Amino acid sequence: MKIFGIFGDPIEHSLSPAMQNAAFRALGLDACYFPFRITKERLEDAILGASAMGFGGLNLTIPLKEKALKIVIPDDLAEAIGAVNTVSFGEDIVGHNTDGLGAMKALEEARVKIKGSSALLIGAGGAARAIAYTLAKEGAEISIANRNPGKALELAGFIQGEGYGLEDLERLVPQADVIINATSVGMMEGDPRLFDGNLLHIGQVVFDIVYNRETEMLKDTVKIGAVAIDGVMMLVYQGAKALEIWTGLKPPIDVMEKAVREELKARER
């Protein structure tokens, strides 16, 4: 049996095991996918250990994506983005990034026009870097707001956008066509709102990459009558691309989505 896994801290929220194990079964593969809680400080040991033990591949989530860049050999896209969310093992340990593709496919599925749009990206971590890079390639005008304004400015400079602190959201939110939360805020019940939901208006698109629950941001979006997109399809599409990288096989998208949504319902009980 081939072992695959996802490293992160925290990791309990991850739906990748349910999704990837369903895909392996559908493809008839003798493989299994497990979650592992790994801190930043032990990431190098964990990746090298997985390689030594013959793992088939890895995914990386919060807060490991940028740190991994210094441990693996990044492909051109991961190096350009500055973050790794997928690791493949062969002669070399190679880092890939499928987050940007996943986000773009989720937006395309919702028929969101990106080219020429005004996009507000909240966050400046690994997922945000991938999304910012992809949106810029697609022709969006991007503003980035982050708890640490310095990181927002650094990422904004990378993609020729504008960087701000979270205190600027009150002004930025009403002006944006597309608003994307690329932070972990909303993952846990009781998390504070990033901004007052009354700042939203009809005609906007709000995409929250958090996928383990309906966030307050998305509830506010639905209440206002704007377009709300949860993080499920980004998870599915980025995971599907990772599966393709590891196996060379066509991923069963429908099976993967069904597994995620069923696991979400099970967790609500």
Question: How large is the average pLDDT for residues 123-129?
Answer: 94
The phi, psi pair for 71, rounded to 5°, reads -105, -35
The reported pLDDT for the residue numbered 268 is: 81
**Dihedral (CA of 163, 178, 213, 11) sign:** negative
Helix segments in the chain, DSSP class H: 16-27, 43-52, 76-81, 99-109, 126-137, 149-159, 169-175, 216-224, 232-247, 253-268
- Please, which pLDDT band fits residue 264 given cuts at 50, 70 and 90? very high
Tens of pLDDT, residue by residue over 131-188, are 999 999 999 999 999 999 999 999 999 999 999 999 999 999 999 999 999 999 999 8
Q: What is the mean pLDDT of residues 96-111?
A: 96
| DSSP assignment of 73-132 | EE-HHHHHHT---EEEESSSEEEE--HHHHHHHHHHHTT---TT-EEEEE--SHHHHHHH
* Domains, in order of start, for the chain: 2-97 (3.40.50.10860), 101-232 (3.40.50.720)
Is 65 an annotated catalytic residue? yes
Whether 269 shows a pLDDT value over 80: the answer reads: no
Q: What is the pLDDT of residue 165?
A: 98
* Verdict on whether the full-model pTM lies above 0.75: yes
Check whether 192 has a pLDDT greater than 90.
yes
pLDDT of residue 90: 94
What mean pLDDT do residues 116-124 have? 97
What pLDDT score does 212 carry? Answer: 87
What pLDDT, in 10s, does the model give residues 30-66? 999 999 999 999 999 999 999 999 999 999 998 999 9
Q: What is the mean pLDDT of the chain?
A: 96
Pick the catalytic residue: 2, 65, 241, 250?
65
Checking DSSP bridges between strand 31-37 and strand 73-74, what pairing results, if any?
A: unpaired
Span 89-111, average pLDDT: 96
Residue 267: what pLDDT? 87
Q: What is the mean pLDDT of residues 90-118?
A: 96
Convert the pLDDT of each residue in 207-244 to its tens digit. 999 998 899 999 999 999 999 999 999 999 999 999 99
Instruction: Tell the burial category of 34 from Cβ atoms under 10 Å away from its Cβ (0-12, 13-18, 19+).
Output: middle
